[in-house]
Structure 1
Amino acid sequence: MRLNQFIAHHSKYSRREADKLIKEGRITINKEVVLDFSYQVDKNTKVYLNGKLLRKQEGYTVIVYNKPKGEIVSKHDDRGRKVIYDSLPKRFSHFKPVGRLDFASEGLLLLSDNVKVVRALMESALERVYLLKLSGFIKESVFDAMESGITLKDASAGGHNKSKIKAMQFAPFVGYTCIKNTEKYSKIKVIIKEGKNRELRRFFAHFGLEVLDLKRIAYGFVQLNNLPMQKVRFLERGEYNKLHAFLEKDYIE
Protein backbone atom coordinates (compact mmCIF):
# COMPACT_ATOMS: atom_id res chain seq x y z
CA MET A 1 0.00 0.00 0.00
CA ARG A 2 1.23 3.50 -0.83
CA LEU A 3 2.22 5.65 2.13
CA ASN A 4 -0.38 8.36 1.50
CA GLN A 5 -3.09 5.71 1.25
CA PHE A 6 -1.95 4.12 4.51
CA ILE A 7 -2.15 7.48 6.30
CA ALA A 8 -5.66 8.10 4.94
CA HIS A 9 -6.82 4.67 6.14
CA HIS A 10 -5.31 5.01 9.60
CA SER A 11 -5.98 8.63 10.49
CA LYS A 12 -8.58 11.36 10.10
CA TYR A 13 -6.72 12.80 7.09
CA SER A 14 -7.65 12.42 3.42
CA ARG A 15 -5.10 11.31 0.82
CA ARG A 16 -4.62 14.90 -0.31
CA GLU A 17 -3.99 15.96 3.29
CA ALA A 18 -1.67 12.97 3.71
CA ASP A 19 0.40 14.21 0.76
CA LYS A 20 0.77 17.55 2.52
CA LEU A 21 1.85 15.87 5.76
CA ILE A 22 4.49 13.89 3.89
CA LYS A 23 5.70 16.99 2.05
CA GLU A 24 6.01 18.86 5.35
CA GLY A 25 8.24 16.11 6.75
CA ARG A 26 5.83 15.13 9.50
CA ILE A 27 5.88 11.43 8.62
CA THR A 28 8.67 9.16 9.83
CA ILE A 29 9.46 5.47 9.35
CA ASN A 30 12.25 3.84 11.33
CA LYS A 31 13.01 7.29 12.82
CA GLU A 32 13.69 8.70 9.35
CA VAL A 33 11.59 11.32 7.56
CA VAL A 34 9.99 9.93 4.41
CA LEU A 35 9.11 12.36 1.62
CA ASP A 36 8.10 9.80 -1.01
CA PHE A 37 4.31 9.70 -1.46
CA SER A 38 4.55 6.29 -3.18
CA TYR A 39 6.62 4.62 -0.45
CA GLN A 40 5.23 1.10 -0.11
CA VAL A 41 3.96 0.18 3.36
CA ASP A 42 3.41 -3.43 4.42
CA LYS A 43 1.81 -4.90 7.54
CA ASN A 44 5.11 -4.76 9.46
CA THR A 45 5.88 -1.10 8.71
CA LYS A 46 5.46 1.32 11.61
CA VAL A 47 4.45 4.79 10.44
CA TYR A 48 4.61 7.78 12.76
CA LEU A 49 2.83 11.12 12.42
CA ASN A 50 4.44 13.87 14.49
CA GLY A 51 6.17 11.14 16.47
CA LYS A 52 2.96 9.24 17.26
CA LEU A 53 2.43 5.73 15.91
CA LEU A 54 -0.50 5.40 13.53
CA ARG A 55 -2.55 2.40 14.62
CA LYS A 56 -5.29 0.68 12.69
CA GLN A 57 -8.71 1.49 14.09
CA GLU A 58 -10.02 -1.82 15.38
CA GLY A 59 -13.63 -2.75 14.85
CA TYR A 60 -16.44 -0.92 13.15
CA THR A 61 -20.20 -0.98 12.79
CA VAL A 62 -22.21 -0.24 9.66
CA ILE A 63 -25.93 0.44 9.63
CA VAL A 64 -28.55 0.85 6.92
CA TYR A 65 -31.04 3.71 7.22
CA ASN A 66 -34.10 4.07 5.00
CA LYS A 67 -34.05 7.83 4.53
CA PRO A 68 -37.37 9.52 3.68
CA LYS A 69 -37.86 12.56 1.50
CA GLY A 70 -37.62 15.80 3.44
CA GLU A 71 -34.51 15.00 5.48
CA ILE A 72 -31.04 16.48 4.99
CA VAL A 73 -28.00 14.21 5.22
CA SER A 74 -26.13 16.51 7.58
CA LYS A 75 -25.63 17.21 11.28
CA HIS A 76 -27.33 20.61 11.04
CA ASP A 77 -29.23 22.65 8.47
CA ASP A 78 -28.96 26.45 8.39
CA ARG A 79 -32.54 26.65 7.06
CA GLY A 80 -33.94 24.69 9.98
CA ARG A 81 -34.95 21.66 7.93
CA LYS A 82 -35.05 18.19 9.44
CA VAL A 83 -31.78 16.23 9.33
CA ILE A 84 -31.29 12.46 9.46
CA TYR A 85 -29.94 12.67 13.02
CA ASP A 86 -33.34 13.93 14.17
CA SER A 87 -34.73 10.51 13.21
CA LEU A 88 -31.77 8.23 13.95
CA PRO A 89 -31.57 6.70 17.45
CA LYS A 90 -29.23 8.74 19.67
CA ARG A 91 -26.71 5.89 19.91
CA PHE A 92 -25.91 6.49 16.22
CA SER A 93 -25.35 10.24 16.55
CA HIS A 94 -21.59 9.83 15.96
CA PHE A 95 -22.01 7.70 12.83
CA LYS A 96 -20.98 9.27 9.52
CA PRO A 97 -22.92 8.83 6.25
CA VAL A 98 -21.51 7.17 3.16
CA GLY A 99 -22.20 9.88 0.61
CA ARG A 100 -25.44 11.81 0.33
CA LEU A 101 -29.05 11.57 -0.73
CA ASP A 102 -30.53 15.00 -1.39
CA PHE A 103 -33.56 16.51 0.37
CA ALA A 104 -36.05 15.19 -2.20
CA SER A 105 -34.54 11.70 -2.46
CA GLU A 106 -35.15 8.62 -0.37
CA GLY A 107 -33.91 5.12 0.23
CA LEU A 108 -30.78 3.30 1.34
CA LEU A 109 -28.16 5.28 3.24
CA LEU A 110 -25.15 3.56 4.82
CA LEU A 111 -23.54 5.00 7.96
CA SER A 112 -20.54 3.85 10.00
CA ASP A 113 -18.65 4.74 13.17
CA ASN A 114 -15.35 4.24 11.32
CA VAL A 115 -14.26 7.08 9.04
CA LYS A 116 -11.93 4.79 7.07
CA VAL A 117 -14.80 2.45 6.25
CA VAL A 118 -16.95 5.43 5.23
CA ARG A 119 -14.22 6.77 2.98
CA ALA A 120 -13.50 3.39 1.37
CA LEU A 121 -17.17 2.81 0.55
CA MET A 122 -17.76 6.37 -0.65
CA GLU A 123 -14.73 6.42 -2.97
CA SER A 124 -15.40 2.94 -4.34
CA ALA A 125 -16.86 1.91 -7.69
CA LEU A 126 -19.50 -0.23 -6.01
CA GLU A 127 -22.75 -0.27 -7.94
CA ARG A 128 -25.53 2.07 -6.78
CA VAL A 129 -29.05 1.05 -7.84
CA TYR A 130 -31.89 3.58 -8.08
CA LEU A 131 -35.58 3.58 -8.96
CA LEU A 132 -36.63 6.77 -10.75
CA LYS A 133 -39.89 8.32 -11.83
CA LEU A 134 -39.45 10.83 -14.66
CA SER A 135 -41.72 13.59 -15.93
CA GLY A 136 -42.17 12.33 -19.49
CA PHE A 137 -41.25 9.96 -22.29
CA ILE A 138 -37.68 8.62 -22.41
CA LYS A 139 -36.43 9.05 -25.98
CA GLU A 140 -33.88 6.85 -27.71
CA SER A 141 -31.25 9.58 -27.39
CA VAL A 142 -31.48 9.26 -23.59
CA PHE A 143 -30.89 5.51 -23.73
CA ASP A 144 -27.95 6.11 -26.08
CA ALA A 145 -26.40 8.57 -23.59
CA MET A 146 -26.89 6.11 -20.74
CA GLU A 147 -25.05 3.45 -22.72
CA SER A 148 -22.19 5.57 -24.05
CA GLY A 149 -21.82 8.33 -21.44
CA ILE A 150 -21.92 12.05 -22.03
CA THR A 151 -19.95 15.20 -21.18
CA LEU A 152 -21.83 18.42 -20.53
CA LYS A 153 -20.26 21.87 -20.44
CA ASP A 154 -23.35 23.09 -18.61
CA ALA A 155 -24.95 20.55 -16.28
CA SER A 156 -26.50 23.12 -13.98
CA ALA A 157 -30.05 22.06 -14.87
CA GLY A 158 -31.18 19.60 -12.22
CA GLY A 159 -28.55 20.82 -9.77
CA HIS A 160 -29.07 22.87 -6.64
CA ASN A 161 -29.50 26.57 -7.44
CA LYS A 162 -26.56 27.42 -5.16
CA SER A 163 -24.25 24.76 -6.58
CA LYS A 164 -21.02 26.00 -8.11
CA ILE A 165 -20.69 22.84 -10.23
CA LYS A 166 -21.38 23.48 -13.88
CA ALA A 167 -19.58 21.09 -16.24
CA MET A 168 -19.94 17.38 -15.55
CA GLN A 169 -18.89 14.12 -17.18
CA PHE A 170 -21.30 11.20 -16.95
CA ALA A 171 -19.80 7.73 -17.31
CA PRO A 172 -21.82 5.05 -19.12
CA PHE A 173 -24.46 3.55 -16.85
CA VAL A 174 -23.70 0.03 -15.66
CA GLY A 175 -27.23 -0.94 -16.63
CA TYR A 176 -30.85 0.11 -16.75
CA THR A 177 -34.33 -1.40 -16.98
CA CYS A 178 -37.20 0.65 -18.36
CA ILE A 179 -40.29 -0.26 -16.32
CA LYS A 180 -42.78 2.16 -17.89
CA ASN A 181 -42.42 4.74 -20.65
CA THR A 182 -45.32 7.05 -21.52
CA GLU A 183 -45.77 10.67 -22.53
CA LYS A 184 -47.14 11.45 -19.06
CA TYR A 185 -44.39 9.85 -16.99
CA SER A 186 -41.81 7.07 -17.00
CA LYS A 187 -40.27 4.66 -14.50
CA ILE A 188 -36.79 3.26 -14.80
CA LYS A 189 -34.25 1.37 -12.68
CA VAL A 190 -30.66 2.49 -13.24
CA ILE A 191 -27.28 1.27 -12.01
CA ILE A 192 -24.29 3.62 -11.78
CA LYS A 193 -20.87 3.44 -10.11
CA GLU A 194 -20.45 7.07 -9.14
CA GLY A 195 -22.19 9.43 -6.78
CA LYS A 196 -21.57 12.92 -8.11
CA ASN A 197 -23.57 15.92 -6.94
CA ARG A 198 -27.21 15.33 -8.03
CA GLU A 199 -25.80 13.29 -10.90
CA LEU A 200 -29.01 11.59 -12.01
CA ARG A 201 -31.11 14.74 -11.71
CA ARG A 202 -28.59 16.64 -13.84
CA PHE A 203 -28.33 13.86 -16.42
CA PHE A 204 -32.05 13.58 -17.09
CA ALA A 205 -32.63 17.35 -16.83
CA HIS A 206 -30.33 17.75 -19.84
CA PHE A 207 -32.95 15.85 -21.86
CA GLY A 208 -35.86 17.83 -20.44
CA LEU A 209 -36.88 15.16 -17.97
CA GLU A 210 -37.49 16.07 -14.34
CA VAL A 211 -36.81 13.43 -11.72
CA LEU A 212 -40.08 13.28 -9.79
CA ASP A 213 -39.06 10.46 -7.46
CA LEU A 214 -35.63 9.03 -6.68
CA LYS A 215 -35.10 6.03 -4.43
CA ARG A 216 -31.81 4.19 -3.83
CA ILE A 217 -32.48 0.49 -3.30
CA ALA A 218 -28.94 -0.93 -3.23
CA TYR A 219 -25.36 0.10 -2.56
CA GLY A 220 -22.87 -2.55 -3.61
CA PHE A 221 -23.65 -5.75 -1.72
CA VAL A 222 -26.23 -4.10 0.59
CA GLN A 223 -29.92 -4.15 -0.34
CA LEU A 224 -32.69 -1.99 1.11
CA ASN A 225 -35.23 -4.82 0.78
CA ASN A 226 -38.24 -4.36 3.08
CA LEU A 227 -36.69 -2.03 5.65
CA PRO A 228 -39.49 0.38 6.69
CA MET A 229 -39.12 4.11 6.11
CA GLN A 230 -37.08 5.95 8.79
CA LYS A 231 -35.95 2.63 10.30
CA VAL A 232 -32.43 1.34 10.90
CA ARG A 233 -30.89 -2.11 10.67
CA PHE A 234 -27.40 -3.52 11.16
CA LEU A 235 -25.63 -5.32 8.35
CA GLU A 236 -26.37 -9.02 8.22
CA ARG A 237 -23.56 -11.56 8.61
CA GLY A 238 -23.34 -12.20 4.86
CA GLU A 239 -23.14 -8.47 4.15
CA TYR A 240 -20.38 -8.06 6.77
CA ASN A 241 -18.44 -10.92 5.18
CA LYS A 242 -18.61 -9.17 1.81
CA LEU A 243 -17.66 -5.85 3.43
CA HIS A 244 -14.62 -7.44 5.12
CA ALA A 245 -13.51 -8.91 1.79
CA PHE A 246 -14.01 -5.57 0.05
CA LEU A 247 -12.00 -3.67 2.67
CA GLU A 248 -9.14 -6.20 2.64
CA LYS A 249 -8.85 -5.84 -1.12
CA ASP A 250 -9.11 -2.05 -0.90
CA TYR A 251 -6.39 -1.79 1.77
CA ILE A 252 -4.01 -4.10 -0.09
CA GLU A 253 -4.37 -2.42 -3.47
Structure 2
Amino acid sequence: MSDKSRPGVAPSEGERIAKLLARAGVASRREVERMIADGRVAIDGEVLDTPATILPNLRGVTVDGKPVGKAEETRLFAFHKPSGLITAERDPKGRPTIYTALRNALPKNAGRVMPIGRLDLNTEGLLLLTNDGGLKRQMELPASEVPRTYRARAFGDVSQAQLEDLIEGVTIDGVRYGRIDANLERRTGRNQWIEMTITEGKNREVRRVLEYLGLKVNRLMRTAYGPFELGDLPRGQVVEIRKGDLDRFRSQLKKVGGK
Protein backbone atom coordinates (compact mmCIF):
# COMPACT_ATOMS: atom_id res chain seq x y z
CA MET A 1 0.00 0.00 0.00
CA SER A 2 1.40 3.39 -0.93
CA ASP A 3 1.83 6.16 1.63
CA LYS A 4 -1.02 8.64 1.99
CA SER A 5 -0.27 12.22 2.98
CA ARG A 6 -2.53 14.75 4.59
CA PRO A 7 -3.60 17.20 1.85
CA GLY A 8 -0.89 19.78 1.26
CA VAL A 9 1.79 17.73 3.03
CA ALA A 10 4.62 16.33 0.95
CA PRO A 11 5.86 12.89 2.09
CA SER A 12 9.31 14.39 2.64
CA GLU A 13 7.85 16.91 5.12
CA GLY A 14 6.22 14.41 7.47
CA GLU A 15 6.43 10.98 9.04
CA ARG A 16 4.17 7.96 9.23
CA ILE A 17 1.47 8.37 11.83
CA ALA A 18 2.48 5.12 13.55
CA LYS A 19 5.97 6.50 14.13
CA LEU A 20 4.61 9.82 15.45
CA LEU A 21 2.21 8.07 17.83
CA ALA A 22 4.96 5.75 19.04
CA ARG A 23 7.20 8.72 19.79
CA ALA A 24 4.32 10.35 21.66
CA GLY A 25 4.19 7.32 23.93
CA VAL A 26 0.82 5.99 22.76
CA ALA A 27 2.16 2.51 21.99
CA SER A 28 4.84 0.77 19.95
CA ARG A 29 4.59 1.17 16.18
CA ARG A 30 3.34 -2.39 15.78
CA GLU A 31 0.68 -1.84 18.46
CA VAL A 32 -0.34 1.46 16.85
CA GLU A 33 -0.83 -0.34 13.54
CA ARG A 34 -3.16 -2.79 15.28
CA MET A 35 -5.06 0.13 16.85
CA ILE A 36 -5.50 1.67 13.40
CA ALA A 37 -6.75 -1.66 12.02
CA ASP A 38 -9.28 -1.74 14.87
CA GLY A 39 -10.56 1.74 13.93
CA ARG A 40 -9.37 3.40 17.13
CA VAL A 41 -7.38 6.22 15.50
CA ALA A 42 -8.94 9.23 13.74
CA ILE A 43 -7.79 12.48 12.13
CA ASP A 44 -10.14 15.47 12.40
CA GLY A 45 -12.93 13.04 13.25
CA GLU A 46 -12.34 10.74 10.28
CA VAL A 47 -11.38 7.17 11.23
CA LEU A 48 -8.00 6.24 9.78
CA ASP A 49 -7.84 3.12 7.61
CA THR A 50 -4.10 2.86 6.94
CA PRO A 51 -0.93 3.24 9.04
CA ALA A 52 0.86 4.54 5.92
CA THR A 53 -0.49 8.07 6.44
CA ILE A 54 2.13 10.82 6.42
CA LEU A 55 1.67 13.74 8.83
CA PRO A 56 3.87 16.67 9.90
CA ASN A 57 2.51 16.48 13.49
CA LEU A 58 -0.30 15.00 15.56
CA ARG A 59 -2.63 17.99 15.40
CA GLY A 60 -6.22 16.73 15.08
CA VAL A 61 -5.29 13.10 15.82
CA THR A 62 -7.36 11.21 18.38
CA VAL A 63 -7.05 7.72 19.87
CA ASP A 64 -10.25 6.24 21.27
CA GLY A 65 -11.77 9.68 20.84
CA LYS A 66 -9.17 11.44 22.96
CA PRO A 67 -6.75 14.02 21.52
CA VAL A 68 -3.11 13.00 21.45
CA GLY A 69 -0.73 15.44 23.06
CA LYS A 70 2.61 16.35 21.57
CA ALA A 71 5.53 14.04 22.17
CA GLU A 72 7.00 14.21 25.65
CA GLU A 73 10.68 14.07 26.45
CA THR A 74 11.91 10.48 26.37
CA ARG A 75 12.11 8.87 29.80
CA LEU A 76 13.43 5.49 30.87
CA PHE A 77 12.70 3.63 34.09
CA ALA A 78 14.20 0.51 35.65
CA PHE A 79 11.74 -1.80 37.40
CA HIS A 80 12.63 -4.81 39.53
CA LYS A 81 9.91 -7.18 38.33
CA PRO A 82 8.94 -9.81 40.88
CA SER A 83 8.18 -13.37 39.80
CA GLY A 84 4.47 -14.04 39.32
CA LEU A 85 3.57 -10.96 37.25
CA ILE A 86 2.57 -10.94 33.58
CA THR A 87 4.36 -8.44 31.33
CA ALA A 88 1.16 -7.09 29.79
CA GLU A 89 -1.49 -4.44 30.45
CA ARG A 90 -4.17 -7.05 31.09
CA ASP A 91 -4.42 -10.83 31.24
CA PRO A 92 -7.44 -12.82 29.99
CA LYS A 93 -6.92 -15.28 32.83
CA GLY A 94 -7.05 -12.50 35.42
CA ARG A 95 -3.50 -12.95 36.64
CA PRO A 96 -1.75 -9.88 38.11
CA THR A 97 0.30 -7.83 35.63
CA ILE A 98 3.31 -5.57 36.02
CA TYR A 99 0.94 -2.60 35.99
CA THR A 100 -0.59 -3.84 39.24
CA ALA A 101 2.77 -3.20 40.91
CA LEU A 102 3.64 -0.13 38.83
CA ARG A 103 0.60 1.85 39.96
CA ASN A 104 2.28 2.56 43.27
CA ALA A 105 5.93 2.25 42.20
CA LEU A 106 6.10 4.75 39.32
CA PRO A 107 6.39 8.51 39.91
CA LYS A 108 3.02 10.27 39.64
CA ASN A 109 4.20 12.23 36.59
CA ALA A 110 5.51 9.20 34.69
CA GLY A 111 2.55 9.07 32.31
CA ARG A 112 2.00 6.00 30.14
CA VAL A 113 5.00 3.68 29.95
CA MET A 114 5.64 0.54 27.92
CA PRO A 115 7.92 -2.39 28.77
CA ILE A 116 11.02 -2.87 26.62
CA GLY A 117 10.94 -6.57 25.87
CA ARG A 118 9.22 -9.02 28.16
CA LEU A 119 9.95 -11.18 31.15
CA ASP A 120 8.01 -14.42 31.54
CA LEU A 121 5.58 -14.93 34.41
CA ASN A 122 8.21 -16.74 36.48
CA THR A 123 11.19 -14.62 35.42
CA GLU A 124 12.22 -11.77 37.70
CA GLY A 125 14.69 -8.92 37.59
CA LEU A 126 15.32 -5.87 35.44
CA LEU A 127 12.49 -4.68 33.21
CA LEU A 128 13.02 -1.35 31.46
CA LEU A 129 10.02 0.90 30.82
CA THR A 130 9.77 3.90 28.52
CA ASN A 131 7.24 6.44 27.23
CA ASP A 132 8.92 6.39 23.80
CA GLY A 133 7.68 3.70 21.41
CA GLY A 134 10.55 4.37 19.02
CA LEU A 135 13.17 3.71 21.68
CA LYS A 136 11.27 0.59 22.77
CA ARG A 137 11.32 -0.87 19.27
CA GLN A 138 14.95 -0.03 18.64
CA MET A 139 16.11 -1.64 21.88
CA GLU A 140 14.06 -4.77 21.21
CA LEU A 141 15.25 -5.40 17.66
CA PRO A 142 17.84 -8.22 17.47
CA ALA A 143 19.69 -6.17 14.83
CA SER A 144 20.39 -3.49 17.45
CA GLU A 145 22.48 -6.09 19.34
CA VAL A 146 21.67 -4.70 22.77
CA PRO A 147 22.99 -7.27 25.28
CA ARG A 148 20.73 -8.74 27.96
CA THR A 149 22.34 -10.50 30.92
CA TYR A 150 20.64 -13.17 33.05
CA ARG A 151 21.52 -15.27 36.08
CA ALA A 152 19.93 -18.72 36.08
CA ARG A 153 19.77 -21.35 38.78
CA ALA A 154 19.37 -24.71 37.10
CA PHE A 155 19.22 -28.30 38.29
CA GLY A 156 21.51 -30.80 36.59
CA ASP A 157 25.08 -31.05 35.37
CA VAL A 158 26.86 -28.91 32.81
CA SER A 159 30.51 -28.06 32.17
CA GLN A 160 32.12 -24.73 31.41
CA ALA A 161 33.25 -26.21 28.09
CA GLN A 162 29.63 -26.91 27.11
CA LEU A 163 28.69 -23.35 28.00
CA GLU A 164 31.62 -21.92 26.04
CA ASP A 165 30.43 -23.77 22.94
CA LEU A 166 27.36 -21.49 22.97
CA ILE A 167 29.57 -18.60 21.84
CA GLU A 168 29.10 -19.97 18.32
CA GLY A 169 25.33 -20.08 18.71
CA VAL A 170 23.10 -23.13 18.66
CA THR A 171 20.13 -24.48 16.68
CA ILE A 172 17.30 -26.02 18.70
CA ASP A 173 14.23 -27.55 17.03
CA GLY A 174 14.96 -25.59 13.89
CA VAL A 175 15.38 -22.25 15.67
CA ARG A 176 18.79 -20.61 15.45
CA TYR A 177 20.05 -18.80 18.54
CA GLY A 178 23.02 -16.53 17.92
CA ARG A 179 26.10 -15.84 20.04
CA ILE A 180 25.61 -16.54 23.76
CA ASP A 181 28.26 -15.71 26.34
CA ALA A 182 27.72 -18.17 29.20
CA ASN A 183 29.73 -18.81 32.36
CA LEU A 184 29.35 -21.25 35.22
CA GLU A 185 29.39 -19.13 38.39
CA ARG A 186 29.09 -21.72 41.16
CA ARG A 187 27.47 -24.95 42.21
CA THR A 188 25.21 -25.53 45.19
CA GLY A 189 24.58 -29.27 45.35
CA ARG A 190 23.02 -30.33 42.03
CA ASN A 191 22.07 -26.72 41.25
CA GLN A 192 24.27 -24.60 39.00
CA TRP A 193 24.32 -20.80 38.93
CA ILE A 194 24.97 -19.68 35.35
CA GLU A 195 25.38 -16.18 33.92
CA MET A 196 24.30 -15.74 30.29
CA THR A 197 24.45 -12.72 28.00
CA ILE A 198 22.37 -12.75 24.82
CA THR A 199 21.69 -10.12 22.16
CA GLU A 200 18.67 -11.47 20.28
CA GLY A 201 16.17 -11.89 23.08
CA LYS A 202 14.10 -14.57 21.34
CA ASN A 203 11.10 -16.00 23.16
CA ARG A 204 12.21 -18.01 26.22
CA GLU A 205 15.74 -18.12 24.78
CA VAL A 206 17.66 -18.64 28.03
CA ARG A 207 15.35 -21.36 29.31
CA ARG A 208 15.31 -23.22 26.00
CA VAL A 209 19.08 -23.18 25.62
CA LEU A 210 19.67 -24.45 29.17
CA GLU A 211 17.00 -27.13 28.76
CA TYR A 212 18.74 -28.17 25.54
CA LEU A 213 21.86 -28.74 27.68
CA GLY A 214 19.85 -31.02 29.97
CA LEU A 215 19.25 -28.52 32.76
CA LYS A 216 16.00 -27.62 34.50
CA VAL A 217 15.77 -23.89 35.28
CA ASN A 218 14.20 -23.21 38.68
CA ARG A 219 15.04 -19.52 38.99
CA LEU A 220 15.77 -16.92 36.32
CA MET A 221 16.66 -13.27 36.83
CA ARG A 222 17.62 -10.57 34.34
CA THR A 223 20.40 -8.48 35.81
CA ALA A 224 21.20 -6.08 32.96
CA TYR A 225 19.82 -4.71 29.68
CA GLY A 226 22.41 -2.79 27.72
CA PRO A 227 24.41 -0.63 30.16
CA PHE A 228 21.54 -0.50 32.66
CA GLU A 229 21.87 -2.85 35.64
CA LEU A 230 19.48 -4.13 38.28
CA GLY A 231 22.01 -3.50 41.03
CA ASP A 232 20.44 -3.40 44.49
CA LEU A 233 17.06 -2.06 43.35
CA PRO A 234 14.50 -3.64 45.71
CA ARG A 235 11.94 -6.06 44.28
CA GLY A 236 8.83 -4.24 43.08
CA GLN A 237 10.50 -0.83 43.04
CA VAL A 238 11.25 1.62 40.20
CA VAL A 239 14.06 4.10 39.61
CA GLU A 240 14.34 6.56 36.73
CA ILE A 241 17.45 6.36 34.55
CA ARG A 242 19.31 9.68 34.63
CA LYS A 243 18.86 11.77 31.49
CA GLY A 244 22.62 11.94 30.90
CA ASP A 245 22.95 8.16 31.02
CA LEU A 246 19.97 7.75 28.68
CA ASP A 247 21.29 10.32 26.21
CA ARG A 248 24.72 8.68 26.22
CA PHE A 249 23.18 5.27 25.52
CA ARG A 250 20.96 6.59 22.73
CA SER A 251 23.92 8.23 21.01
CA GLN A 252 25.69 4.85 20.96
CA LEU A 253 22.65 2.73 20.10
CA LYS A 254 23.10 1.02 16.78
CA LYS A 255 20.88 2.65 14.15
CA VAL A 256 18.75 -0.03 12.50
CA GLY A 257 15.45 -0.16 10.72
CA GLY A 258 13.64 2.48 8.75
CA LYS A 259 10.45 4.45 9.19
1:87 is the counterpart of 2:93: no
Residue in structure 2 matched with residue 114 of structure 1 by the alignment: 132
Counterpart CA distance in 2 for 1:86 and 1:65 is: 13
> Could you tell me how far 1:212 is from its partner in structure 2?
1.1
> Do the aligned partners of residues 248 and 148 (structure 1) sit closer, same or farther apart at CA in structure 2, a change above 3 Å counting?
closer
Counterpart of 1:107, as a letter, is G
> Do the aligned partners of residues 171 and 250 (structure 1) sit closer, same or farther apart at CA in structure 2, a change above 3 Å counting?
closer
Residue in structure 2 matched with residue 168 of structure 1 by the alignment: 175
Larger strand share, 1 or 2:
2
Counterpart CA distance in 1 for 2:117 and 2:76 is: 14
> Could you tell me how far 1:207 is from its partner in structure 2?
2.1
Superposition pairs of residues 96-107 of structure 1, within 5 angstroms? 96-107=114-125
1:211 corresponds to which of 211, 217, 237: 217
> Could you tell me how far 1:238 is from its partner in structure 2?
4.1
Counterpart CA distance in 2 for 1:148 and 1:183 is: 29
- What is the RMSD of the two structures over their aligned residues, measured on CA atoms? 3.1
1:188 is the counterpart of 2:194: yes
Residue in structure 1 matched with residue 56 of structure 2 by the alignment: 53
Counterpart CA distance in 1 for 2:153 and 2:128 is: 23
Q: Verify the 8 A CA contact 2:86 2:98 in the aligned structure 1.
A: yes
Counterpart CA distance in 1 for 2:212 and 2:161 is: 11
Counterpart CA distance in 2 for 1:221 and 1:252 is: 24
Q: Verify the 8 A CA contact 2:164 2:183 in the aligned structure 1.
A: no
> Do the aligned partners of residues 140 and 240 (structure 1) sit closer, same or farther apart at CA in structure 2, a change above 3 Å counting?
closer
Q: Verify the 8 A CA contact 1:221 1:242 in the aligned structure 2.
A: no
Residue in structure 2 matched with residue 27 of structure 1 by the alignment: none
In structure 2, the gaps of 5 or more residues are 1-11, 23-28, 34-51, 59-69
Residue in structure 2 matched with residue 137 of structure 1 by the alignment: 157
2:83 corresponds to which of 69, 75, 93: 69
Counterpart CA distance in 2 for 1:252 and 1:151 is: 29
Residue in structure 2 matched with residue 163 of structure 1 by the alignment: none
The share of aligned pairs that are identical, in percent, is 29
> Do the aligned partners of residues 59 and 80 (structure 1) sit closer, same or farther apart at CA in structure 2, a change above 3 Å counting?
same
1:226 corresponds to which of 232, 235, 238: 232
Counterpart of 1:77, as a letter, is D
Counterpart CA distance in 2 for 1:115 and 1:185 is: 39
> Could you tell me how far 1:89 is from its partner in structure 2?
2.6
Report the TM-score when normalising by structure 2.
Answer: 0.69
1:146 corresponds to which of 129, 153, 166: 166
1:236 is the counterpart of 2:242: yes
Counterpart CA distance in 1 for 2:193 and 2:54 is: 56
Report the TM-score when normalising by structure 1.
Answer: 0.70
> Could you tell me how far 1:251 is from its partner in structure 2?
8.2
> Do the aligned partners of residues 227 and 237 (structure 1) sit closer, same or farther apart at CA in structure 2, a change above 3 Å counting?
same
In structure 1, the gaps of 5 or more residues are 18-48, 154-166
> Do the aligned partners of residues 245 and 136 (structure 1) sit closer, same or farther apart at CA in structure 2, a change above 3 Å counting?
same
